[in-house]
Amino acid sequence: MTIPRLSVLAFIISAYSAGAALAAADIAPAKHPITHEDVWLMKRVGAPQPSPDGRWAVFAVTDPAYDSKEQWSDLWIKSLTDDTPARRLTFSKGGEGALNWSPDSKQLIFVAKREGDDAGQIYRIDVAGGGEAQRLTTLTLGARQPKFSPDGKQILFVSDLYPGNVTEDDVKKTAKERKDRKYSARAYESFPPRFFDKWLDDKKVRLFVMDAAVGAKPRDVLSGTRLAQLPGFGGGQGDEGQNLDAIWAPDGKSIVFSASINRDELARASGYTQLFNLPLGGGEATQLTADKHSYNNLKFSADGKTLFTLNEAEEPGKVYDVSRLASFAWPVSNPAPSILTAALDRSISRYALPAGSGRVVFSYEHAGLEQLHSVNYAGGDLRDEPSLPTGSIGSLNAGGKALVGVWESSINPPEVYAFGNGAPKRLTAFNTERAATIDWQAPEHFWFKASDGRMIHNMIVKPANFDPAKKYPLFAVIHGGAANMWRDQFVIRWNYHLLAQPGYVVLLTDYKGSTGYGEEFARAIQGDPLKGPGDEINEAVDEAVKKYSYIDGSKLAAGGASYGGHLANWLQATTTRYKAIISHAGEMDLIMQWGTSDSVYGREVNSGGPVWGDKAVWREQSPVLQGGNFEKGTGFKSPILISVGELDYRVPANNALMNFATQQRLNVPSKLLVFPDENHWILKGENSRYFYSEVHGWLAKYLK
């Protein structure tokens, strides 16, 4: 039988292709256990900002390095109308942030600190025409949060003044005087004097407006108002100073913003923010709301008739308030908001307003996931929107009809996705190739009923080369907060798979006090800050050992950071079941933490009263005061690794010093790691690598 020439050729090609495929399979690298380099060097993808016409999305991408001098961060742009790959828009080592499009979708403004800048300044780039970014501001104290006006002719932004200053010349003069003065003392007459990792200063936050042109002179539109002179006026605290959540009114004639008027009471009351409208033609700011709520994340509907916001209604004497989606008819005539998600017992994380949909799309945490949902503008017809079945939405923004954000899971590092038009579509592939080479599995979820009747959600993370026939030690890792939740996401600071990598099963438990399960669940730790959550972690360990035959119940460890470190210290003081404890930034004494952190009033609410009162919680749930209960068969016995950043003002280093002193006094195997250049988190590459190596070494010493 004669085979036609084309068939022979096809056969040869087919055979060659099959052979090539087999050869490729033979030489394809085997998947490897995750390494610190895999974690640290994954690209970090920022929140995408879609253009108003819905055709483009711009986002920041950080190309990390162990040496910060080698790290790059640039803006990238991706078409939303076709499948062309994303391309780099800027080329600089300094990062860009606070992106905002012009209404015609042709220009982009952002904040960057480039050569010659002592503080972050506003830059503009012509996306449509190309060219280099142009610096628009040169303010001594910098500029942040820029936004184009509705007609694209002006820019609103936030900056600061020193007390008594009126003009930029005044600011320059004061800055020079302060730089030249011969003493270094700080003076304070209000609380808090420091925040997170910075000593605070006396700068006053202000709103500025300028023409959207190089050389334009910014105009301070807030300083002359009575509002700005109130002793409690201010904004939320951020890395660059106080921030005011401010947007243009639809007609471009006023600025709508949220601000605090009780910042001077933070040592004795909860802080809250109200809504204001400031006319640009002159005059006082009008207060739009008059309640003890906090408003943030302001957006107007496309027709300008509705103002949307997230709303936290403070319930006196409670430790946690659900954040709900709210709206006002514009102009505001009724100071009481319409609560659109009143029937939903979950905190809204983020929301967006796709044009023409008449719906608000939002996400909230629930049982390790964060997925999309929506309501109509009246707050009805609650729907689930198409989402990925695992993982978490990390950002969400709308431009025109386009809806884009970042999605990630613990085995899928962050990428930009398009949502809202059928199944979510991945738009970038910065990390997919590297992620595909790692031997890892998605977390396994399970629930159990705690002794107090609550249903408790957990995730189990398995190590590389997992064999269910083998036995593995268990490491119970405790999340911070406590108002927080373990999420199926890619984490750098406490990466689940990297912790599990040497051969441990990692248990992630959402104890009472966690978010994602409703307001009552999050408030359940009031008056019981450590014992109740600690009991539930112990019960979760028991349940995991019983449920999974591959867990070795004789080899248990526990650890966490921040509030998770507090609980780790509590577990060490109250049980001897754990053969190793890891405590980073962990509170050791409730009273000391009350007096030395950047927050005091919330701790009083949680414990039922001030430290000088008669509330036994201050003593009965301080780990250091339970550590000597040897007659009860507990007390400090389990070997403990203690670590702290010297610049941590949230849980100051004295907690770690007291912890280490106590362990050494009681002759408990213990080790103290102090990071002089880190804050509440370990953020530098080599420090992170060292930290993980110490954690792995400590676990190996006592579990293997």
pLDDT tens-digit map of 565-575: 999 999 999 99
- Let me know if 120 is exposed, middle or buried by CB neighbors in 10 A (0-12, 13-18, 19+): buried
Residue-level pLDDT at 94: 80
Residue-level pLDDT at 13: 32
Residue-level pLDDT at 534: 97
Contact in structure between 392 and 383 (CB atoms under 8 Å): no
**Residue 491: both structure tokens together:** 């984490």
Contact in structure between 475 and 504 (CB atoms under 8 Å): yes
> Is 18 a residue whose pLDDT tops 50?
no
> Is 184 a residue whose pLDDT tops 80?
yes
Q: Which of 14-28, 390-404, 460-474, 501-515 has the lowest mean pLDDT?
A: 14-28
> Is 27 a residue whose pLDDT tops 70?
no
Please compute the mean of the pLDDT values over residues 549-576 and round it to a whole number.
97
**Residue 109: both structure tokens together:** 């403004």
Q: Which domains does the chain have, with CATH numbers?
A: 439-703 (3.40.50.1820)
Beta-carbon contacts of 107 under 8 Å, excluding residues fewer than 6 positions away, are 101, 124, 125, 126, 127, 128, 148, 152, 212
* Total length of the chain: 704
Q: Which of 350-364, 399-413, 618-632, 681-695 has the lowest mean pLDDT?
A: 618-632
Please compute the mean of the pLDDT values over residues 610-621 and round it to a whole number.
94
Beta-carbon contacts of 13 under 8 Å, excluding residues fewer than 6 positions away, are none
Q: Which of 265-279, 619-633, 650-664 has the lowest mean pLDDT?
A: 619-633
* Helix/strand/coil percent split, the chain, to 5: 20, 30, 45
Residue-level pLDDT at 315: 87
Residue-level pLDDT at 93: 76
Average pLDDT, the chain: 93
Residue-level pLDDT at 628: 85
**Position of tokens 């910014």?**
218
Q: Please state, in angstroms and as integers, the Cα–Cα distance from residue 30 to each residue in 304, 412, 476, following that order.
A: 56, 18, 29
Please compute the mean of the pLDDT values over residues 47-67 and round it to a whole number.
97
- pLDDT winner (highest mean) among 196-205, 619-628, 629-638, 674-683: 674-683
Which pLDDT band holds residue 29 (cuts at 50, 70, 90)?
low
Q: Which of 405, 425, 402, 422 is nearest to 414 (CA)?
A: 405
> Is 480 a residue whose pLDDT tops 90?
yes
0.75 exceeded by the pTM?
yes
Residue-level pLDDT at 688: 98
Give CA–CA dist 450/542, Å, rounded. Answer: 11
Please compute the mean of the pLDDT values over residues 599-609 and round it to a whole number.
91
Please compute the mean of the pLDDT values over residues 157-181 and round it to a whole number.
95
Which alpha helices (H) appear in 28-159, and where do they start and end? 36-40
Paired residues of 405 in beta bridges: 396, 417
> How is 630-661 classified by DSSP, letter by letter?
GGGT-SS-S-EEEEEETT-SSS-THHHHHHHH
> Is 119 a residue whose pLDDT tops 90?
yes
Greater model confidence, 499 or 283: 499
Residue-level pLDDT at 238: 80
**Residue 655: both structure tokens together:** 């907690």
Which pLDDT band holds residue 134 (cuts at 50, 70, 90)?
very high
Q: Which of 3-7, 84-88, 139-143, 172-176 has the lowest mean pLDDT?
A: 3-7
Residue-level pLDDT at 51: 98
Residue-level pLDDT at 629: 86
> Is 22 a residue whose pLDDT tops 90?
no
